[in-house]
Structure 1
C-alpha cells in the first residue's frame, strides 16, 4: 500500500523515548527494520496506513492523535524568526517557511537554534554575572523545547513519584507530615521554618541535616518546596538519565533542566497522577477546587494539568503561558495547537494580558487566530511573594487553554457560546507575523509590509496604514 504524506516522525520518536524503548525494540515490535524506523522518525520516509495503525496500537493512542503534526509549531517559530528586521529584504513568503518546516524540519530547527544563539550573544550583558539582561535566553528556550518535545510528560518521574508517595501515605494520614517523616527517616533530614534572606525559599544548614524553609512562604509554596527538595534526592537517577538522553546544550542547561524536572517530580508527589486525573475529570478542570483538594496553588494546578499525557489516561491537550506585567513570557508550552511566541511578547488582545486589569479573577476568552482556528482560554493575574511586611511582590498572569473542540470539558466554558464565530476575539501570535492590518493595538507593522504616511489622513495607529 502506498504511503501517506504525514510528517509524524517527531511524534513517534517522542512517544518511543517516553516509554524508554529503543529504536531496535520498536522496529522489532512493528516488524520493520531499525534503519527504516530511523528514516520515518526523521521524516525521510512516508508511513503506510497499516503501519500507522500498528504504531498507534503499540503506544495506546488513537491514529488521529498520532497523525497530528508538530509542523505548525515549528512553522510558527520560523515565521516569528523570519519576521525579524534582519530578514526584511529576504522576500520570504509564508509558503516558503511552511515548506521548510514540513519538508526539512531538521534544517528549520537548526536555523532556529542558530538564531536563538545569535540573539543570546547580541543581548546586552550585565556587569556582574555577564548574562543577557533580556527576557530571551538560549538556555531557557532549549529547556522549553525539551519539555515540548516530550509533551511535558515523563513516565520515569511519574513512576518514581508513585513509589515514594505510596511510602509517604503509609506513614501518615497527612501528606505534609508524611513528607517530613520520610525526609527524616530515609535521608536523616529534619525540617524547620526559619528567617531566610529575601529570595531564598529553602537552605540546608552546614551540617546537611537540617532543611531550613522560609517562614514567609504561603502554605502551598512551603509544601511544594519540601516536595521539590525530596524530588532532587529521590529523582537523582531518573532526572540524570533524562538529561543525558536529551539534546540539551550541556552543561549550560543542565542546572535549569534538573530544577525543572525536580519541580515536575514534586508536582507528581503533591498531585498523584491517577488521583489528580480523576479529580480533573470529575470537577471539569475546576482549578480553585482542585487547589483546595490537593493543597496546591493556582499555578501549580495549571502546570500539573498540562502533564496529563499518559496514553491510557490522558487529559485535555492544553497550553500554558506565564507572563509578567511587562509582557516577558517566562513559561510557555502548547499541546492545544495555539502558537506562543518564542522571541517576543504575545498579542495584547489575548486575555493573559487583560487579566492584570482584574487581579485575582479568572478571565474567560474565546480566541481566534488568523488561520481561523479558535481556542478557549482562561487567565488569572496573581501576586507572588512572601508574607513578610516588606517582602517584594511579583505580579504575573497565568494563561491556560485548549482548542475549542475540547472546551466543553472545562467548567469555565459553561454559558459561553462556543459555536458563535462572532463571539471570538481576533488575536495573533505577534505583531510582526500577524496579518491583521486593521488592529489598532499594533506595536509593529507586519514583517512583509512597509507602511506609508498620508498627510491628509491620520490612522488610529500608524502601523494600520
Structure 2
C-alpha cells in the first residue's frame, strides 16, 4: 500500500474561512467537525483527513485547487468527478475513492482517462449525427463548424496564447488592470510601425499589410474599438504563436485555417485585455458580477462573459461556466461550455431557457434556476444587448448573452443570490433542443425527438398531436 503525504493547510484553511466572513463554529459545522478540531487544523496541529479533503473539494472546488494539493489528492478529485457522471446510478463514497487512489493509482488514472475519452467520443458522435441531420447532405462540416468544434475540443483554453498575451499585457499596462487604448496605439505605432486612422469607410477594422496601415471605425462602442486594436496588435505581435497553434490543429482546408487564425487572434485579444491571473482573482473577489468586472478591465458585458468561459488553466481554474450568444431569431451564434451542459450545435436552444426572453428585453439581467433531463441543475444569467452601428443607415445589432454554472458553484455566482437553491422551487425543466430532448410533458415542444417513434391518436389531443416513447 502506498503512503500518502500528510497535508497540513492551516493558514489557507483559515484564510478560506475568513474571506467568507464565517465564524469558526459555523465553518466547523459546515465541514462536519467540532470547533476545537477545526482550531487544531487551522493551527497545523493536525493534518487534513481524507474525508475532510473530499469535503473541501466538494464545497470549495476552486479554493481547494488553489491549496496546492499533491498528485494523490488531485487524482481523488478527478476520480470523484468521473464517478459522479449521471451515467452511473449513484456516486461512490469518499472513503472508497480514497482507497482506490491509495491502492490502485494506475487503475484510477486509467478510469479518469477512459471517462474523459468516453465524454469526448460522445461529443464527437453528436457532431457527426447533427451534421448528418442538418442541411448538409454530405455530412461534411463547414469551415466555421470545424473551427467552432476545434475550440470546443480545446475546452476554449489555449495555454500558449493565453500566457503570451498575459506577458505582453504586463509590458503594456504598467500598474493598470488592463492595457489602455493609448498604450495599445503607442505599441502599434512605435514597436510595429503601424499607421493608425479612425474612419468609418472601411468596415469595423481594415489592415493593409503592405502599407502597414490600420483603419478603425470610430462609430463602434469604445470597448469594441479597443478590442479591434487589441486584435490587430496580437495578430502581429503573437503571429508566430498563433500560426503554431493553427499548424497543430491540422484543419483540412484553407478557409478553416484562416478562420481559426481569426478566432485565435480574438482569443488572444481577450487574454491581452483581461490577463488571466488578475482577471481570475478579480472575478472571484467580485463573485463574478459582470458589470463590476467590466468596469475594472474596461471591457464590454459580452467580452467579460466570454472571457469567464475560458478560465481553464491547469492549477488555476475558474468556475466552470457555459457561455452563449443568441440572436433575435433564436440562433446560437457563439457557444462554449466548460460544464456538463452541451448546446445543440444546429438550430436554436430550448425555448424555456431564459436567454430567449432576454433577447426581447435589452439591458435587463434575468436569472433562472434550470434543470436538464439528466437531473443536473444550473444557475443561468442572461442579458439582452444592443450594439450601436454608429449610423442611421445600418441597424444596430440586437442579441442576448447567457452565462451559467452548476448549482454547486452558486456561492461563487452573485446572480444565484435571489434563487432558492436548497428547496429547488421554481426550477425550470429545460432541454438542449427539441430534436434531442426526451421530455414528454413539455408545453413548448416544437417537434418530437428524432430518435423516438411517435404514436398518433385522432381521438386524443394534448399540447402536441402525438405521443412518443
TM-score normalised by structure 2 residue count: 0.72
- Identify the residue that residue 116 of structure 1 maps to in structure 2: 131
Contact preservation (8 Å) 1:302, 1:400: yes
Change (3 A) 1:398 1:236: same
Give 2:325's aligned residue.
Answer: 322
Distance 1:113 1:435 in 2: 20
1:399 is matched with which residue?
Answer: 402
Shift in Å, 1:186: 1.0
1:64 to 77, 86, 89: 77
Maintained 8 Å contact 1:157/1:239? yes
Structure ranking higher on relative contact order (CA contacts 8 Å, 6+ apart): 1
Q: Deviations over 1:236-294 (max 9, x none)?
A: 11111112112433323111111111011101111111111111011100101111211
Preserved contact between residue 365 and residue 378 of structure 1 (Cα < 8 Å): yes
Is 1:337 equivalent to 2:340 in the alignment? Answer: yes
Where does structure 1 lack aligned partners over 5 or more consecutive residues?
A: 2-55, 75-98, 124-131
Could you tell me which residue of structure 2 aligns to residue 139 of structure 1? 143
Q: Which runs of 5+ in 2 are unaligned?
A: 2-68, 88-113
Summarize the Cα distance change of 1:69–1:201 in structure 2 as closer, same or farther, 3 Å threshold. farther
Cα distance in 1 between the residues matched to 2:380 and 2:123 = 29
Q: Which residue of 2 aligns with 1:418?
A: 421
Which residue of structure 1 aligns with residue 58 of structure 2? none
Secondary structure at the counterpart of residue 432 of structure 1: coil
User: Is the 8 Å Cα contact of residues 384 and 395 (structure 1) preserved in structure 2?
Assistant: yes
Q: Structure 2: how far apart are the matches of 1:111 and 1:427?
A: 19
| 8 Å Cα contact 1:316/1:402 also seen in 2 | yes
- Structure-2 separation of matches of 1:70 and 1:331: 30
Map of 1:53 onto structure 2: none
Contact 1:323 1:329 (C-alpha < 8 Å) held by counterparts: yes
1:102: Cα distance to partner?
Answer: 7.3
Aligned twin of 1:213:
216
Which of 270, 276, 282 lines up with 1:273 in the alignment?
276
2:344 aligned counterpart, secondary structure: coil
What's the offset of the Cα at 1:66? 6.5
Q: Secondary structure at the match of 1:309?
A: coil
Secondary structure of residue in 2 paired with 1:399 = strand
The one of 198, 201, 223 equivalent to 1:196 is 201
TM-score by length of 1: 0.72
Aligned mates of 1:100, 1:151 — CA distance in 2: 16
Q: What is the CA–CA distance in structure 1 between the aligned matches of 2:236 and 2:330, rounded to whole Å?
A: 35
Deviations 1:281-321 (A, max 9, x none): 11100101111211111110001001111222211001111
Q: Distance in 2 between matches of 1:373 and 1:384?
A: 34
2:461 is aligned with 1:458: yes
Larger-Rg structure? 2
Query: What per-residue deviation string (whole Å, max 9, x for no partner) do you get for residues 157-199 of structure 1?
Result: 12211222122235999621111110111111122211225xx
Matched, 1:165 2:169: yes
Structure 1 Cα separation of the partners of residues 119 and 406 of structure 2: 27
Deviation at 1:137, TM superposition (A): 5.7
Q: Are residues 253 and 73 of structure 1, via their aligned partners in 2, closer, same or farther at CA, if it must alter by over 3 Å?
A: farther
Distance 2:126 2:377 in 1: 29
In structure 2, distance between residues paired with 1:327 and 1:104: 27
Asked if the contact 1:190–1:210 (Cα under 8 Å) also holds between the matched residues in 2, the reply is: yes
Structure 1: distance between partners of 2:158 and 2:388: 29
8 Å CA contact 1:73–1:339 kept in 2: the answer is: no
CA distance in 1, matches of 2:163, 2:299: 21
Alpha carbons 1:345, 1:430 under 8 Å: kept? yes
Map of 2:160 onto structure 1: 156
* 8 A contact 1:442–1:463 mirrored in 2: no
Task: For 2:348 and 2:323, locate their aligned partners in 1 and report how far apart those are by CA, in whole Å.
Answer: 14
1:235: how far off? Answer: 1.7
